[in-house]
Structure 1
């Protein structure tokens, strides 16, 4: 009996992760890669797509915000470490991105100036993701070439690293009528290493989904509250 029990446990140890991975790939992954978006958005060519020509990871997510693009835009440009954070989970934001949850609920005038070539910081020492395209009130595209060995983006004039990962992360604002906005995010990642592919599929994709979904909903909540406050709503943003 003990031998059979040991074999059963060994099979379970192998089978459970395999079944979980198969379930994720078959049912959860396709949905999370296009959360909130429709077919017209998923298959649309969006600004920033040309930065990564042949992506091996591609996601399109979206949310409707009852505020104008000009009212949503300030929340995008102030993202980053030491700035407004990424409107995600308050405690993790405070620890990882030096973001005061109360401060992240305000438009911060000191962080409203952003240009191509600037870096949206995600950690100390100005480590972060570069701005590659910016059309005020419409498009904010971030990304570049990352050195997989360091996890950092290399400069535009630097030599291409031995193990490159090309990334684009784009936010597109599309007006819906006169008072609402469709906020669409598009992520494209290209790499050659199978090990990087396994890491992207197993860890980066699920983590990015959780963070980005919360980010989109966080911007929606803040922009709508600010818009209501500007319209004289009894529920102004604190």
Structure 2
């Protein structure tokens, strides 16, 4: 067991060497401005000391009121196929998806803030919409606690497992989260803009 843990820890550290601080920062803040990264968001206090924080953003050529229904639909995991939109309210619980546990709606301030927290309180997901030049800035923030502990046979193994868990979270989960989130943000943007009358779209 100890030998396996050592091998896994070594492999994780080797992989992490290519995930430099500058690459990691780009991954965690893709699409967001420096001000958006620094700015507090409603719901930050639901997980005050996270292990990982990502803040990403996208500009949408549609007003917040037109973006909100698509945010609700796609943040809830549904595909934007039907013209009807689901409604969310504080206390609603979304079923678990491929990326994590079920999430409870904690803030639903239409059309400005939508925030979720996992039932184990290990993850908080916040979406903020603000009007900008007739369109919308949509900012998404994830706050994630340290990897959960696992049964250990010794203090030595505990340290190695912690290294493996954090390395996997950084090298695998963070880039994977970027891919999924960019796809979702782009989907919200494209759906909101495509449903807006051409006369209301912002000039290029």
Q: Please, what TM-score do these two structures have when normalized by structure 1?
A: 0.66
Largest Rg, 1 or 2 = 1
The Cα RMSD (Å) is 2.7
The verdict on how the C-alpha distance between 1:63 and 1:141 changes in structure 2, with shifts beyond 3 A counting, is same
Where do 5+ consecutive residues of structure 1 fail to align?
1-14, 85-103, 147-164, 234-238
Give the CA deviation at 1:28: 1.9
Q: Please, what TM-score do these two structures have when normalized by structure 2?
A: 0.76
1:147-226 to structure 2, matched below 5 A, reads: 166-177=122-133, 179-191=134-146, 193=149, 194=162, 196-226=165-195
Corresponding position of 1:101: none
1:92-111 to structure 2, matched below 5 A, reads: 104-109=80-85, 111=86
Which of 115, 130, 141 is the equivalent residue of 2:104?
A: 130
- Aligned: 1:116 with 2:90: yes
- Per chain length, whose mean CA-contact separation is higher, i.e. which structure has more relative contact order (CA < 8 Å, sep 6+)? 2
Does structure 1 retain, via aligned residues, the 8 Å contact 2:113–2:129? yes
Does structure 1 retain, via aligned residues, the 8 Å contact 2:113–2:128? yes
Does structure 1 retain, via aligned residues, the 8 Å contact 2:32–2:55? yes
Where do 5+ consecutive residues of structure 2 fail to align?
1-9, 150-161
Which of 14, 18, 25 is the equivalent residue of 1:23?
A: 18
Cα shift readout 1:149-185 (whole Å, capped 9, x = no counterpart): xxxxxxxxxxxxxxxx6211100001103x2000000
Give the CA deviation at 1:26: 3.1
The verdict on how the C-alpha distance between 1:130 and 1:16 changes in structure 2, with shifts beyond 3 A counting, is closer
Which of 117, 139, 143 is the equivalent residue of 1:143?
A: 117
* Count of residues in Structure 1 that have an aligned counterpart in Structure 2: 176
The list of structure 1 runs, each at least 4 consecutive aligned residues, that deviate by more than 6 angstroms after superposition, is none
Corresponding position of 2:157: none
CA distance in 1, matches of 2:123, 2:117: 5
Does structure 2 retain, via aligned residues, the 8 Å contact 1:141–1:170? yes
Give the CA deviation at 1:19: 5.4
